[in-house]
Amino acid sequence: MNGKGPRYDLAEVKRLVREGRYSASKKGTSWLRNHGFSPILARRIMLSLQDNEFVKSLEPRRNDGSWADVYCCDYDEDGVCGCFYVKFIVEGDVATVMLMSCKEWGYTW
């Protein structure tokens, strides 16, 4: 399977996030913190994602890794306005969404 379609059902991902089955890596929210935003904003951005904002799926870096879905969304709420790059995986026996990256589109680390 190639990376042209999402690996994860977005409605299911958003349900998991709403239920609290969500975590974010420190690196994944570093852009937000470095620009004066709370990491909690990443959760709100994830819940705003739409199916048509899907960009690509990225292959795992290791054989035992999970594919990551990437979305690009325009976000204009909570005093924040911008185009955001969001990358996440769903992992574990008890499915949990792991946010890998949430930053303004085009910014590097």
Q: Does domain 10-104 have CATH number 3.30.2310.40?
A: yes
How far is the CA of 62 from the CAs of 58, 65, 103, in angstroms? 12, 5, 24
Q: What is the pLDDT of residue 109?
A: 46
Q: What is the pLDDT of residue 23?
A: 93
Enumerate residue ranges in the chain where pLDDT < 50.
1, 109
Of 20, 24, 27, 37, residue with least CA distance to 79:
37
Q: What is the pLDDT of residue 43?
A: 94
- The pTM for the full model equals 0.88
Q: What is the pLDDT of residue 2?
A: 53
Q: What is the pLDDT of residue 102?
A: 92
Q: What is the pLDDT of residue 107?
A: 61
